[in-house]
Every structure is written in C-alpha cells, then in structure tokens.
Structure 1
Amino acid sequence: MNPEFVALLSRFLKYATPDQITADASLHDLGLDSMQSIELLFAIEDDCGVSLPDEALTESTFATAGSLWAAVCNARGDAS
C-alpha cells in the first residue's frame, strides 16, 4: 500500500491512526461502516482514477486494507 492510499483510508476510519492502517488491518474494526464504504468507494475511484467492477464490490474486498488495495491495483492493472 502506498502512503497516499493510507491517507485516503484514514479519512474514513474514525478509530484509526495512520500507523494502524496495515495490510491486515480490519477496516470494520477501525470504524468503517456500510455508509462510509460507499463514500470510500467513490473517493477511491476519484483519487486513484479507477473504477472498481461490480464483482469487486464484496464484503471480502472491504474486509482489510490489503484486500481493498489489491482490488485497486487489479483495477489499475498493476501488481503493487
């Protein structure tokens, strides 16, 4: 995960400090709720310049910071 993505996530995770946002960090445990998930999706699409496909919009994609980062990388076509 790059620092810009961590900064983006931190705007939506009310219980997290940037150092707590690791690849295996549970987004739900850090304060992400269903309404914020939608807002986060729009922010990711705007800030990262990607459109996540419908099949990527699953609970498992939004489970951890790392799984969400992987979906962003996949949508961008890179392996970061």
Structure 2
Amino acid sequence: MDSAFIDLLRRQLRVETTTEITADTSLRDLGMDSMRSIELLFGVEEAYDITLPDSDLNETTFATPGNLWRAVTAQLPQGSVAP
C-alpha cells in the first residue's frame, strides 16, 4: 500500500491521522458502512483511473485495506506504478 492510498482511506472514512491503518485493519472498525463503501469505491476508481470488476465488489475485498489494495493493483496496467 502506498501513502496516497492510505490518505484516500483516511479522507473517505474520515479517520484521524493518529489512527494507524495497516493492511490487516478492519475497514468496518474504521467506520465502513454500505454508503461509505460506495463512496470509497468511487474514490479509488477515480484516484487510480481504474474500474474494479463486479467480482471484486464484495465484503472480502472491502474488509481490509490490504484486500482492497490488491484489487486496485490488479487493475493497474502491467508495470505501472500507483500514483
């Protein structure tokens, strides 16, 4: 995960900068609900200029930052670096 992704999570979920976010942090514990998951989806797709496939739009993908990051990076062009 890169710092821009963590910053995006903080903004979308309205998480304090003092709260540690790791790959295994529960997004629900950070305030994720159904409306915020949709906002986060749109934010991620816009920030990384990708579209997550329907198969990734599930509770597992949105359970932790690490899971979501893997879904994001899987959609980036080969060899590209996340912004």
What TM-score results when the alignment is normalised by the length of structure 1? 0.88
Q: CA RMSD in A?
A: 2.0
Unmatched tracts of structure 2, length 5 or more = none
In structure 2, the CA distance between the partners of 1:31 and 1:64, relative to structure 1 (3 Å rule), is same
Give the match for residue 12 of structure 2.
12
Sort the Cα spacing of 1:52 and 1:44 in 2 relative to 1 into closer, same or farther, 3 A: same
Q: Among all aligned residue pairs of Structure 1 and Structure 2, give the percentage whose two residues are the same amino acid.
A: 50
Q: Is the 8 Å Cα contact of residues 16 and 31 (structure 1) preserved in structure 2?
A: no
Superposed counterparts of 1:1-80, under 5 Å: 1-17=1-17, 19-77=19-77
Distance 2:55 2:34 in 1: 17
Residue type of the partner of 1:13?
L
Stretches of 4+ aligned residues off by more than 3 angstroms: 14-19, 77-80
Structure 1: runs of 5+ lacking an equivalent: none
Alpha-carbon separation, structure 2, partners of 1:78 and 1:63: 25
CA deviations over 1:5-53 (Å, ceiling 9, x no partner): 0000001223553651110000001111110100110011101111000
What number of residue pairs does the alignment pair up? Answer: 80
Q: TM-score, normalised by structure 2?
A: 0.85
Provide the C-alpha distance between the structure 2 equivalents of 1:19 and 1:77, rounded to a whole number of angstroms. Answer: 31
